[in-house]
Structure 1
Amino acid sequence: MLSARLVGRRVVLRYRRSDGVLPPLSDVVGELASLTETTAILTGPDGPVTVDRAAIVAARAVAPHRREILELQRIARRGWRAAEVAELDGWLLSADQGWTGRANSVLPLATPHRPLPVLLAEAGRFYAERGLPLQVLLPLPARGLLDADLAGRCWTLQRPTVMLTRPIGEPADPPPGREPVTLEEAPSAAWLDGYHYRGGRLPEYAVRLLTRHDQVRFASVRSAGSVAGIARGAVDEGWLGVTAVEVAPEQRRSGVGRALMAALLGWGRRCGADRCYLQVDADNPAALAFYQRLGFTEHHRYHYRLAPGES
């Protein structure tokens, strides 16, 4: 039945219509934006819909529509802006010296009109000219057919990832007893020292990617004079994207992560964002459990396919 755990998820509600109206039952589908003792409010393509909670006879979560999955991926690309972006028959090609898959891969937003081999050859030339491998980010199930086609062509599956979302609402208070979170428009030297993407120190072009945004904040927490944790937030089209979250090993499970998220959610809300997304490696159960405790739910999954012969 309907519960607060479904807030922020796409649901279908079956409810009783007014007496005398036929048919007596009807369904409505949308994102459950809020739930009170008396009403459920859903948002959909035609705007908000309010349903009397007493009239609801059944409720269940449903997978996001293919259009919603692709739209969220488009917005996530806006939150992580590569130095070079090109459009190829509905595909978005991003390149930024190889730092992160998101900034150096094809995002197939639209169904192309040209044959797939022609598109792959042209995309391959784009990346080869920049000394980069050809890889495609595949949101599922929205691009399941393309994924199957590439798998049949011996493209290698890489980096399964979970896209999590939640409504912002009223951000939770930061945990007590912690030093305050600092929010800065540019990453400080200490912030950069605290970020070790895949174990290495950030090159200068990576710093430029992180700061290539007009509405971004870099959050950090200090403890005993050193950086205990960092995160980055960027706002695009009503969404807050949280990336680059890292907590020092000795500070984990001490409230640093919750403090960072509370600060960024509050900042995003002040900037007009009402929803938040973040991406987590599918093989990181501890991180997935942490964000689920903060109210995030799985929106969809994606992975990359790497062209044969690339590395």
Structure 2
Amino acid sequence: MSAAPQVSVVIPAHNRVGPLRDTIQSVLAATRRVAAEIVLVDDGSEPPLSEILGDIGAGLVRHVRQTNQGSIAARLHGLAEARGDHVLFLDSDDLVHPEKFDVILPAIAVARADVAYDDLARPIRENAGWHFESVEALRRSSEPAEFYLRIQPVPHSPTYRRDYLLRHLEKPLIPAKREFDPAGDVWLYYNLCAFPATIVKVDRALTAIGIHNEERYSRHWERIAVAALGVMEAFAAACPQVADLLSTRRVAGECAFDSWRRLPRGFDPDFDRRLLQLWENAPRGPVEHLGGPFFQKLARLFGPKAAGRIIRYSQPRYSRVRSLSPEAYRQLFSK
């Protein structure tokens, strides 16, 4: 039996093929000097992806097919199939820098880290592949709640130790539900934020989102918001109320408050209420954690909730930022 690979790249996919080819090619370029495997989880595509992709990545790509169950189930299936010491999750339109694993894996080894993350890049198409241009430098953090809930890197930035993921996702704090799929990365992060982890940051832009015109979850931010709220409520209900997790619960509440005060005016009132309630029910921290100097001044005069409502007057009305039709909006909030 061959030795276990150093890294397993898990890619859930459903029908979207064009961007997936670019994703696989970027992984092939990044694994020339690394023992790796690509676990491609076909979430019920028709026709099967193995038939469409042919021998692309032959010897490196392992096709795993399941009935259509959604992206979270496909990601967990891929994790169960993975044999590598480390795991990177990619969507079927993500790209990785050719040197990602050359840099990330030694950083994990030196720090004995459970997870390593890097910065976001903008991909620029070149004849021989992609050029990665730095877009955003993320903050450093060694605290799981701060990293997963506040920094919240794009989901294809972190590379994990496989045993760390298996330990905390075999019986996840928040069960996998298809309704959470639009916010699958949020589901993963809230399931990991309550557990100790050694985290290391690599100051290079090694992660990018592919350029294409096909459907993305991110094109409909309202669906992501509703799924994320469900995850946050499930976390609040499931997270043990013990002293060791008080700061984690506080950060989760503060993140809910931050999301609430950024809502557009005129958004669904029940969504508004539920999001604010998460903060109201969470342990409280200093007002400095809830906003900048202007917010803090208002909060000391009127209280955090009133200050948040005042700040929200500067937000655009929902009608100016909507991505759903009126009918799709009604259906989303009538569930």
Per the normalisation by structure 2, the TM-score is 0.23
Per the normalisation by structure 1, the TM-score is 0.24
Structure with the largest fraction of strand: 1
Structure with the largest fraction of helix: 2
